[in-house]
Amino acid sequence: MANPTAAMLVIGDEILSGRTRDANMYFLAGELTKHGIDLKEVRIVSDDEAAIIAAVTSLSDSFDHVFTSGGIGPTHDDITADCISKAFDVHLDVRDDARALLQAHYDKSGQELNAARLRMARIPDGATLIDNPVSTAPGFTLRNVHVMAGVPSVFQAMVASVLPTLTGGAPLLSQTLRVERGEGDIAPILTAVAEAFDDLSIGCYPFQHNGAFGANVVVRGADGARVDAAMTQLARDLGL
- Domain residue extents for the chain: 5-165, 173-237
Report the run of H or E that residue 75 belongs to, with start and end: none
For residue 43, list its beta bridge partners: 9
Rounded CA separation 136/128 (Å): 15
CATH of 5-165, one of 1.20.1530.20, 3.30.470.20, 3.40.50.1000, 3.40.980.10: 3.40.980.10
Is the Cβ–Cβ distance between 127 and 141 less than 8 Å?
yes
CB neighbour list of residue 56: distance below 8 Å, 6 or more residues apart: 9, 66, 68, 83, 84, 87, 145
Residue 63, phi then psi, degrees to nearest 5: -130, 160
* pLDDT value for 222: 85
Of all residues in the chain, the percent with pLDDT exceeding 90 is 91
Q: How confident is the model at residue 212 (pLDDT cuts 50, 70, 90)?
A: confident
pLDDT digits (tens, 9 = 90+) for 56-92: 999 999 999 999 999 999 999 999 999 999 999 999 9
The dotted CATH code for 173-237 is: 3.30.70.600
- Give the model's pLDDT for residue 172: 85
Range of weakest confidence among 20-29, 37-46, 205-214? 205-214
Whole-angstrom distance, CA of residue 83 vs CA of residue 144 = 15
d(C-alpha 68, C-alpha 50), whole Å? 16
- What would the mean pLDDT of 41-46 be, rounded to a whole number? 97
Distances, alpha carbon 5 to alpha carbons 108, 125, 164, in Å: 40, 25, 16
How far is the C-alpha of 49 from the C-alpha of 57, rounded, in Å?
12
Interatomic CA distance for residues 29 and 50, integer angstroms: 26
Separation of alpha carbons 16 and 174, rounded Å: 31
Residue 70 pLDDT: 95
Residues 63, 32: contact at Cβ < 8 Å? no
pLDDT tens-place string over residues 120-143: 999 999 999 999 999 999 999 999
The answer to whether 80 and 20 are in contact (CB under 8 A) is no
Dist. CA 227–CA 20, nearest whole Å = 37
Do the domains at 5-165 and 173-237 have one common CATH topology?
Answer: no
Whether this prediction's pTM lies above 0.85 is answered by yes
CB-count burial class (<10 Å; 0-12, 13-18, 19+) for 67:
buried
